[in-house]
């Protein structure tokens, strides 16, 4: 039919020289059924990657292998900041190329990866600054920094330098993927990440760049702490499946909170205070009920209906609450004044969480008044000791860092908690930025006493 995306894309026909990928060599997808057209999938993903400065106008390329064996790939020499669906190129199993542009010059390594790993259905190649820094130093980020990073990204491979777009580069990259890794740094070039779906590939890509950024920031503070096998394994099996309940009609208060909570989650993602599939926000609906973010959802476009209602440890039927719901429940039970809780991973604050350095908040009055003492708690408390966290955090001391995880912030409203999270990240970044300038000149005891009196600040 005229006007369909297939006809729009098939304005140019050539044949690529490539070993043929036939449908017989392309196994059926073993992930959730994808209903978004590949061209739309690639353009929306590139828009996000470009807008968050994880690639440049001319750099990076994305592809998807569909069920019929066609590879859909971003084009060569087209502005990545304004990519349209009709710009995407389809390369069919017989080598025929359909579209208005030439495919990316890096097509050889996309094709060779799909040949080497039949479980890979989507590939991201880009030049995010932290991972590029590792690539030009000849080093790999250690994903043992976080349990989730190790689980999502695994070991990172390293492909020696070869001319961009060359068959040699394709062979170098495919050789690493054939070893079983799904993230490969390209020497003096960038990163290539694959996944069984585009969602999985993007999650790996974003998680790995966040890990690399955190390592760089933490290294400016001193020694970085990585997790051993026992610590990584201890975080896997402490999450019991909660019982469910069927809530009645939502009250006006709950509906308003759903709207506001989803707005703040999306805002936090836009400000890079969390990544797309990590971070838990909650807000109290009543004495026994609170709303919390679901597991595995994309924080960039979270909808109010996706939020999960929790009541006395029971979870809204048919939904998967964040693993942090047990911890949030303990805090709400202990502290009736707390109305909102945030677990997040802003890079600079998280750098303190993975280093041996403590964050001194006596930098400017706002930091001291809003954050107070920022205690650092062991990673094990998240799953094993929720009551211990609840006893250490309070409305008077509302901020804590969790080792090798991130930040936890309480508030007497959603806005209050979110404001504290922003102040925490700004303070952390300012302190890290002091390192090349000189030692931090913390406010003296006289100033601190004056602030304590003026703002009625309690002491531990």
CA distance 419 to 365: 15
CA distance 216 to 348: 10
Cα torsion at 152, 158, 162, 163 (round to 10°)?
30
CA distance 224 to 216: 9
CA distances in angstroms from 210 to 167, 214, 345, 376, 398, listed in the order given: 30, 6, 9, 20, 25
Q: Which helix (H) or strand (E) holds 138?
A: none
Cα torsion at 58, 61, 62, 66 (round to 10°)?
120
CA distance 122 to 397: 45
List the alpha helices (DSSP H) in 372-458. 381-384, 386-392, 414-434, 445-454
The position carrying tokens 């061209």 is 39
Catalytic residue (one of 90, 106, 235, 254): 106
Told to judge if 106 belongs to the known catalytic residues of this protein, a careful annotator would answer yes
CA distance 368 to 125: 42
CA distance 200 to 68: 20
CA distance from start to end of the chain: 72
399: DSSP letter: E
CA distance 316 to 329: 14
CA distance 375 to 150: 25
Active site residues: 106
């Amino acid at each position: 039919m005229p006007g369909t995306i297939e006809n729009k894309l098939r304005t140019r026909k050539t044949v690529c020289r490539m070993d043929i990928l036939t449908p017989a060599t392309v196994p059926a997808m073993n992930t959730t059924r994808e209903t978004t057209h590949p061209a739309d999938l690639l353009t929306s993903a590139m828009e996000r990657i470009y807008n968050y400065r994880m690639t440049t106008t001319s750099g990076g390329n994305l592809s998807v292998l569909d069920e019929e064996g066609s590879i859909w790939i971003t084009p060569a020499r087209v502005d990545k900041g304004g990519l349209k669906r009709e710009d995407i190129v389809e390369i069919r199993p017989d080598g025929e190329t359909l579209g208005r542009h030439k495919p990316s010059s890096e097509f050889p390594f996309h094709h060779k990866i799909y040949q080497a790993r039949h479980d890979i259905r989507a590939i991201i190649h880009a030049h995010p600054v932290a991972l590029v820094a590792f690539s030009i130093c000849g080093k790999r980020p250690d994903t043992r920094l976080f349990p989730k990073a190790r689980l999502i990204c695994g070991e990172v491979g390293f492909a020696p330098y070869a001319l961009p777009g060359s068959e040699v580069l394709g062979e170098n990259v495919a050789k690493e993927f054939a070893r079983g890794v799904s993230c490969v740094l390209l020497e003096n070039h960038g990163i290539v990440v694959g996944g069984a779906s585009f969602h999985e590939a993007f999650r790996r890509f974003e998680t790995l760049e966040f890990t690399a950024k955190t390592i760089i920031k933490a290294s400016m503070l001193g020694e970085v702490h990585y997790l051993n096998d026992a610590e990584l394994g201890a975080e896997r099996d402490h999450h019991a499946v909660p019982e469910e309940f069927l809530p009645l009609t939502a009250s006006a208060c709950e509906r308003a909170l759903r709207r506001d909570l989803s707005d703040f989650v999306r805002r936090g993602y836009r400000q890079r205070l969390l990544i797309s599939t990590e971070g838990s926000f909650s807000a109290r609906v009543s004495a026994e009920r609170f709303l919390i973010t679901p597991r595995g959802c994309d924080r960039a476009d979270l909808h109010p209906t996706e939020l999960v209602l929790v009541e006395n440890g029971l979870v809204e039927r048919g939904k998967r609450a964040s693993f942090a719901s047990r911890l949030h429940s303990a805090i709400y039970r202990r502290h009736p004044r707390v109305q909102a809780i945030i677990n997040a991973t802003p890079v600079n604050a998280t750098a303190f969480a993975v280093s041996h350095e403590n964050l001194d908040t006596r930098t400017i009055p706002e930091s001291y008044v809003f954050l107070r003492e920022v205690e650092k708690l062991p990673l094990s408390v998240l799953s094993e000791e929720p009551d211990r966290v609840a006893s250490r955090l309070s409305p008077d001391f509302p901020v804590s860092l969790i080792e090798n995880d991130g930040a936890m912030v309480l508030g007497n409203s959603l806005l209050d908690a979110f404001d504290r999270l922003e102040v925490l990240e700004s303070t952390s970044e300012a302190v890290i930025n002091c390192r090349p300038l000189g030692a931090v000149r913390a406010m003296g005891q006289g100033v601190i006493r004056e602030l304590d009196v003026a703002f009625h600040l309690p002491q531990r």
